[in-house]
Chains A and B, each alone.
Chain A
């Protein structure tokens, strides 16, 4: 028998690229129990546990992996659930290669242990085999104090789950009509199936968390009104929902979308089923996606699935600088997305009656590193060319939504709109008000937001505990 560190990383089955580019079913199919046990047995169970350090919510990774290797999947699921309320989501969308797996000792030997795939397997196995996905919180001591969570995305859901488990009365306010935030409107179902998300949300609801949709904090109610109405602490997890545009000519043409709008129409509003669903989306024939992050890949792959014959990514730097996860790039390329690197759009071209007919681009070369540490793209003169397109999707980043900062006196924000917090506690400039996730950092990852939700939940618990003790002293 070969030494286990000599075994290669177990591949995960996937839908065939040609086939999957035409449907919205999940791309990756998950491990079988045999695959999971084989992969888990590659863990060296090293003493240092560097993987745990790489996990924003500090899952005890070697412990759950050991249980998977032993075939005790239920125990493995329990181990993960101690630290992560959204395991089947994280197993799918976390950039593990930048986190837990990056630090795995096996990474330098024969490929890191596939921790993300094992997390996904374990969570899915548990959901399929457990009697209920309801969390038992009957042993908790119910507390009278109330916490408002603003935003039902990854940060808010994590904080809500943790605080409900600690016994608080938790109400989550969501601006849209459905729960999940970016997991619902941003990440396509071929990466995160809706039933997986629904299952995780149901489990949080079962802890006694109340959800109020259609409440836009900053408009429907202000933070001050929430405080006046009896919430003892507030967590702001409103994400980075404000789209960035390129500010180049032709950007108001029909057929030019922000990635937020394009993905929201398809993911939240189910526009692919128009007219059975009420919301339409432009069905692209030739699409250009500007940007090379995960959102750009999601947009490009969604355009393909809607029926586009040609989808181009246009990115002003080179392959090495592309911010998307390696796996997403690989999947997009396999599905036939064409990459135009060192190419920058300079104008959207008008065709018939205000509709887009193409994107004028210019070739770039890399110069000296800029403030981001990446080599600065410089235009090469007289290299303009046009890419024919009836649809263009601008996916070059999002910043925090201004609705809360513009309606909350005393809430400190950065010049670019991020909420300023104490990095240890998540507390904002207003006592009792905490914040985390993209609303603080600008667009980042699901798991970083979850880590911030957890950190704030711990601080809120400590803050409310101190309030209780103070009140007790006063009444004694």
Chain B
């Protein structure tokens, strides 16, 4: 039996290049399709890696704002990574991540031609892409990778986009060209002034709000950055969406480990998020929960370094 599956295509931007494309689901519905082969690997900076994997089932329904759960090896933790790009025709899915902990280092250690053990998704609620007018897309560090597909979708929906990118220094700035293409205007700030303006993203955002009417803001990056952006926009009543990445295990709403307090309610980032109204997020609780396994992670790192040197 031949079968054809059509997809929704609203607000995808160039995310899915062939939104009208019709694929044969039965071709990709076989256990052998689950190889999760790494098709391409690039280093975007010393610690930021872009991997493109063969995962046609994940590509099929993926929308901007959604994530995958990856297990690099059969002994690895399950970690969530936002989908940077999905191509339904080729079945390729791209993720960009920073090697910060044990598991992201394991993932960064894999090469083109190898496979990851598990790759499940798309998970989470897609970004709510609306035409609102002028949107400030503020991103820092590896958060720029998460911001890119959202920015493209917002642009495709007819918004005017002002991007503000922040990095500690020039060598850590990623995806500048892609963001420049997706934005109507782009400002870049670095902590040390090695590129763009010297300063932090909230300086640039505050200056922008003096000069321009901003209808909505997106803030994606390190937790203190998102919180600082929300402090600026709250004062000016600019609706602000943030993308959270608490600790997760299953990613399907089963464990509750990723619970965050939003407007006094308990939400699960994996199914209710990962995007939330930044003005309602309880940042202190989130910060503390994110640090819950820091000691044990440190132990794991030491153990793996010891094993490496042995």
A positions within 8 Å CB-CB of B: 171, 175-177, 185, 210-216, 219-222, 225, 228-230, 241-243, 245, 247, 251-255, 257-258, 260-261, 264-265, 269-270, 274-280, 282, 353-354, 401-403
What distance in Å separates the Cβ of B292 from its nearest Cβ neighbour in chain A?
4
A278 and B288 form a contact (CB under 8 A): no
Chain B residues 233-290 with CB under 8 Å of chain A are: 249-250, 252-257, 259-261, 266, 271, 282, 284-285, 288-289
Q: Does B90 contact A (CB under 8 A)?
A: no
Query: Is B194 an interface residue, CB under 8 A from the partner?
Result: no
B299 in contact with A275 (CB, 8 Å): yes
CA distance A257 to B257 in the complex (A): 7
The reply to whether A216 and B123 contact each other, CB–CB distance below 8 Å, is: yes
Q: Is the CB of A221 within 8 A of B120?
A: no
CA distance A388 to B309 in the complex (A): 41
Cα–Cα distance between A229 and B27 once the two chains are bound (Å): 10
Q: A401–B300 Cα gap in the complex (Å)? A: 33
B259→A252 contact, CB < 8 A: yes
27 A-B residue pairings within 8 Å (CB atoms): A177-B71, A185-B250, A213-B34, A214-B119, A215-B57, A216-B120, A219-B122, A219-B123, A220-B58, A220-B61, A228-B25, A229-B3, A230-B3, A252-B282, A260-B256, A261-B257, A264-B250, A269-B77, A270-B75, A275-B296, A276-B303, A278-B71, A280-B297, A282-B292, A354-B285, A401-B254, A402-B271
> Which residues of B have CB within 8 Å of A274?
296, 300
B310 at the interface (CB under 8 A from A): no
Which 4 A-B residue pairings sit nearest by Cβ, starting from the closest? Answer: A354-B288, A261-B255, A275-B300, A278-B77
Q: Please, how many angstroms separate the alpha-carbon atoms of A221 and B61 in the complex?
A: 7
Decide if A275 touches B303 in the complex (CB within 8 Å).
Answer: yes
B271, A403: Cβ atoms under 8 Å? yes
Q: Which residues of A contact B253 (CB under 8 A)?
A: 241-242, 401-403
Cα A219 to Cα B83 with chains together (Å): 14
> Which B residues have a C-beta under 8 Å from some C-beta of A?
1, 3-5, 25-26, 29-31, 34, 57-58, 60-61, 71, 73, 75-78, 102-103, 106, 117-123, 249-250, 252-257, 259-261, 266, 271, 282, 284-285, 288-289, 291-293, 296-297, 299-300, 303-304
Verify B57–A280 contact, CB threshold 8 A. no
What's the least CB distance linking B250 to chain A, in Å? Answer: 6
Known: A210-B30, A275-B296. A216 touches B3 (CB 8 A): no
Check B293–A230 contact: CB distance below 8 A: no
The one of B4, B293, B299 in contact with A228, judged by C-beta atoms closer than 8 angstroms, is: B4
Please give, as numbers and ranges, the residues of chain B lying within 8 Å of A257 by CB-CB distance: 257
Q: A229-B26, A278-B73 are in contact. List 20 more A-B contacts (CB 8 A).
A: A177-B78, A219-B61, A220-B121, A220-B122, A228-B4, A229-B3, A242-B253, A242-B254, A243-B256, A245-B259, A252-B260, A252-B282, A252-B288, A261-B249, A269-B77, A275-B300, A278-B77, A278-B300, A280-B297, A282-B292
Cα of A254 to Cα of B103 in the assembled complex, Å = 21
Residues of B within 8 A of A214 (CB): 34, 118-120
Give the number of residue pairs across the A-B interface with Cβ within 8 Å: 157
Determine whether the beta carbon of B60 is less than 8 Å from that of A275. no
Known contacts A177-B120, A275-B296, A278-B102; A245/B256 CB under 8 A: yes
| Of B1, B78, B122, B291, the contact of A279 (CB 8 Å cutoff) | B78
Partner of A241, one of B4, B254, B259: B254
A280–B293 CB distance below 8 A: yes
Q: Chain B residues near A215 (CB, 8 Å)?
A: 57, 120
| Beta-carbon contact of B252 and A175 below 8 Å | yes
Question: Shortest distance in angstroms between B261's beta carbon and chain A's nearest beta carbon?
Answer: 6
- Whether A210 and B304, one on each chain, are in contact in the complex, defined by CB atoms closer than 8 angstroms, is no
**Contact yes or no, A264 B120, CB < 8 A:** no
**B-side contacts of A354, CB under 8 Å:** 284-285, 288-289, 291-292
User: What is the bound-complex CA distance between A275 and B253, given in angstroms?
Assistant: 25
Set of chain B residues within 8 Å of A245, measured between Cβ atoms? 256, 259, 266
Q: Which of A215, A241, A261, A278 has the most CB of B within 10 A?
A: A278
Main secondary structure of the interface of A (DSSP, over half): loop
Inter-chain contact A220/B60, CB cutoff 8 Å:
yes
- State in angstroms the CA–CA spacing of A245 and B260 once bound together: 13
Which residues of chain A have C-beta atoms less than 8 A from B250's C-beta?
175-176, 185, 241, 264
Which residues of B sit under 8 angstroms from A241, Cβ to Cβ? 250, 252-254
Do residues B75 and A264 form an inter-chain contact, with CB atoms below 8 A? no
> Which one of B250, B259, B285 has the highest number of Cβ atoms from chain A below 10 Å of its Cβ?
B250
The distance from the CB of A177 to the nearest CB of chain B, in whole angstroms, is 4
Partner of A260, one of B255, B260, B271: B255
Q: How far is the CA of A228 from the CA of B1 in the complex (A)?
A: 10
Partner of A254, one of B77, B117, B288: B288
CB-CB under 8 A for A219 and B121, given A211-B31, A278-B300: yes
CB distance from B58 to the nearest CB of A (A): 7
Q: Report the minimum CB–CB distance from B257 to chain A (whole Å).
A: 5
Whether B31 lies near A212 (C-beta < 8 A) is yes
Determine the chain B residues whose CB is within 8 A of the CB of A265 once the complex forms.
249
Partner of B75, one of A220, A221, A254, A277: A277
Report how far A245 CA is from B250 CA in the complex, Å.
Answer: 17
Distance A175 CA – B60 CA, assembled complex (angstroms): 16
Contacts of B1 in A (CB 8 A): 230
Q: Which of A176, A219, A221 has the most CB of B within 10 A?
A: A219
B77 to A, closest residue via Cβ: A278
CB pair A221 B60 closer than 8 Å: yes
Q: Which of A177, A212, A277 contacts B29 (CB 8 A)?
A: A212
Q: Which residues of A contact B271 (CB under 8 A)?
A: 402-403
Whole-angstrom CA separation of A41 from B134 in the bound complex? 82
Q: How far is the CB of B34 from chain A (nearest CB, A)?
A: 7
A220 contacts across to B, CB distance below 8 A: 57-58, 60-61, 120-122
CB-CB nearest in chain A for B33 = A212
Question: Cβ of A403 and Cβ of B121 under 8 Å apart?
Answer: no
Q: Name which of A245, A274, A403 has the most chain B CB atoms within 10 A of its CB.
A: A274
Cβ–Cβ contact A278 & B122, under 8 A: no
A264 to B257, CA, bound (A): 11
Q: Which residues of B sit under 8 angstroms from A280, Cβ to Cβ?
A: 77, 293, 296-297, 300
Query: Contacts A216-B252, A261-B255: A278 and B26 contacting too (C-beta < 8 A)?
Result: no
What CA separation (Å) do A471 and B120 show in the bound complex? 37
CA distance in complex: A284, B168 (Å): 38
Neighbouring B residues of A282 by C-beta, 8 Å: 292
B58: chain A residues within 8 A (beta carbon): 220
CA distance A212 to B108 in the complex (A): 26
Q: What residue in chain A is nearest B266 (Cβ atoms)? A: A245
A270 to B293 alpha-carbon distance, docked (Å): 16
Q: Are the CB atoms of B29 and A171 closer together than 8 Å?
A: yes
